[in-house]
Chains A and B, each alone.
Chain A
Amino acid sequence: MEGISTKMKILKIFLLMIVPWTFIVFLAPLYNTKYPFLGGWPFLYWYLFLWVFIQPVFTFIVFKYIDKERW
């Protein structure tokens, strides 16, 4: 269990920190826009709404395939 490879460790940091930090936080100047609207929602709102559901998928991938924990 302890012996996850360095490659996997980097992937874990990537999925748990780099990806969410970049797409959800640091790209704010890019996602802070009205267009395109989706169902009447401005981009800013539906983009962040979607990420609420996308981010847990990454954590789940780490849980299941990198840490190899059983649910």
Chain B
Amino acid sequence: MFNGLDYAIFFTLIGLTIVVSFLGAKWRKADFSKISEWSIGGRKFGTIIVWFLMGGDIYTAYALISVPGGAYGMGGFILYSAVYGSISYPFLYYVAPRLYLIAKRKGMITGGDYVKERFNSPTLALLIALTGIIAMLPYIALQIVGIKYVLVSMNFPVIESYLIAFLIVAAFTIVAGLRGPALGAIIKDVLLWGVIITITVVLFINFSGFSAVFAHLDAMNKNYLIPNKLMLGYITLAFGNGIAWLLFPNLLTGIFGSKDAKTIKKNSVFLPVYQVWMVILAIIGLIALSENLIPSKVSSLAFPSVLNAYFPPTFVVIAFAAIIIGAMIPAAIQALSAANLITRNIYLEYFNKSANEKRQVLIGRIFVFVMIVASLIFVLTPAASGLIFYLLTMSYAWLLQTLPAIIISMYWPKLDKYSVAAGWLFGIVFTTYGLFTVNFSSSLLPWLSYMYVGIAGLIINLVVLLIVHAIVRLLRIKYTSGIKPAEFTDFDESVVGLKEWRKDDLRASKE
């Protein structure tokens, strides 16, 4: 089906992206021996780069493999993926400037840094950091599995190929820090936009505005709506993911790496338009169903099978390369964020308080690899060989439990560390238990009307939080915060002392 030239194009595209990203290390000269430089690119990114970076982060193998696969397997239910984007961006607009501005003022680069300062509690910071790290694992696994399905549809030996791909990603992530993925993300986005627009136009014409897809499914008596049984699951999943999305450590890294709060706001006006893909990709998944394109019924092959059926091999390999790049780069950014968390909030805090920056960088590099290897645990879960979008929802379920610590704490000055920690514990234990009851094959609980496990966990989390908080206040237990309520702000200009900070920054950059 594919000839030598096709394979050559495939590998050249992937190789080229890696090389360019590699050269990206020299683009905008930076001092990579400094941890903050290595991990968030010295806070110098402008609007366009952040836009690409965040886009490159969000639209991954998840969008291209798991969304069509979900539509193939579960019909309209998968539209939750389009829905949650439409609520996560306005939510980001509301809360992220506040988080970014305090982080910038206090020199924080991870969510854990913020929690430590806000609650004067390294222990709580550790819990939050651990949650972030564990939540990254299914996400990285999703990328690996996505690559696997692409290679399967190209008749490759699977395990070897994706391990090599990820080792390369990890290696260049370390050398180039965030600047590498930023350049690569530009290539990826250009490539993916080109591919997706082409596919959409061709299929749109082929299926007379997609109406033929729905007509055909109606004739086959197949459901493309949200199954009524799963309505609560759909609503809680869309809502829970939309709120938790921002809590992803790698997304926080992107936010903290922005130039100013206004840049974040601008990005959250524009970025939701990316969401159009989700609806279209869902419909593409339905094509695989209506035209019966997957003899093996493996849902994750929906997108590759549609490509194979309607496009020439040369175009297909370009699209496949784009998917793989689209999985590689975010995986690198995710592993980087996790390594960052481990170095700052665990190693530095608990193992070696006096570690110099060189040592910190070394630890960070080691943990990039550790993360990628650890994510293989989730590659083995039933969800990875079934409906792989569930992997991502597991990440969100755990991350949701950090909502009180990271977001609610910004708006509730009296919130104390004991109640947040207690809520977190109950939330995490329940979420993990819930996932066990369904054997990690999904994230909806059949014994709770198919409610999303993350929202069920959050409800328990908040109830425990309120009870413990009432006790803490009643017994007048003392607690402190490293951030005064007045230090929180939503606007760039009004940050007290920011002008001085900027002068210092300017001076530092001249030296």
Residue ranges of A at the interface with B (Cβ–Cβ < 8 Å): 1-2, 12-13, 15-17, 20-21, 24-26, 28-29, 32-34, 37, 39-42, 44-45, 48-49, 51-53, 55-56, 58-60, 62-63, 67, 69, 71
Contacts and interface: CB of A to CB of B under 8 A. Distances in A.
Contact of B489 (A2, A44, A67): A2
A63 B90 CA distance: 11
A41 B210 contact: yes
Given A40-B212, A52-B275, A59-B272, 9 more contacts: A16-B94, A32-B76, A37-B211, A55-B89, A56-B269, A63-B265, A63-B266, A67-B265, A67-B490
A39 B86 contact: no
B266 A71 contact: yes
Interface of B: 76, 79, 82-83, 85-87, 89-91, 93-94, 208-212, 214-215, 224-226, 228, 231, 234-235, 238-239, 242, 262, 265-266, 268-270, 272-273, 275-276, 279, 282-283, 489-491, 493-494
A48 B76 CA distance: 11
B208 A40 contact: yes
Contacts of A44: 76, 79, 224-226
B90 A55 contact: yes
A40 B209 contact: yes
Given A34-B225, A48-B279, A53-B273, A25 B238 contact: yes
9 contacts: A16-B91, A20-B90, A25-B238, A45-B214, A52-B275, A53-B273, A55-B89, A59-B268, A60-B269
Contacts of A33: 225
A66 B480 CA distance: 34
5 closest pairs, A vs B, by CB? A40-B211, A16-B90, A2-B494, A1-B491, A32-B226
Contacts of B209: 39-41
Contacts of A32: 76, 225-226, 228, 231
B226 A56 contact: no
A58 B90 contact: yes
A21 B87 CA distance: 6
Kindly name the residue among B85, B234, B272 whose own CB sees the greatest number of chain A CB atoms within 10 A.
B272
A25 B493 contact: no
Contacts of A24: 83, 86-87, 238
A25 to B, nearest CB: 5
Contacts of B493: 1
B273 A56 contact: yes
A45 B85 CA distance: 15
A16 B246 CA distance: 15
A4 B418 CA distance: 33
A7 to B, nearest CB: 16
B494 A52 contact: no
Contacts of A45: 76, 79, 214, 279, 282-283
B269 A63 contact: yes
Contact of B494 (A1, A39, A40, A69): A1
A36 B231 CA distance: 20
Contacts of A20: 86-87, 90
B412 to A, nearest CB: 15
Contacts of B79: 44-45, 48
Contacts of B234: 28
A29 B275 CA distance: 21
B459 to A, nearest CB: 16
Contacts of A16: 90-91, 93-94
A71 B212 CA distance: 42
Contact of B214 (A25, A28, A40, A69): A40
A52 B86 contact: yes
B82 A59 contact: no
Nearest to A40: B211
Contacts of B266: 63, 69, 71
Contact of B211 (A41, A56, A58): A41
A41 to B, nearest CB: 7
A24 to B, nearest CB: 5
Kindly name the residue among B86, B209, B265, B276 whose own CB sees the greatest number of chain A CB atoms within 10 A.
B86
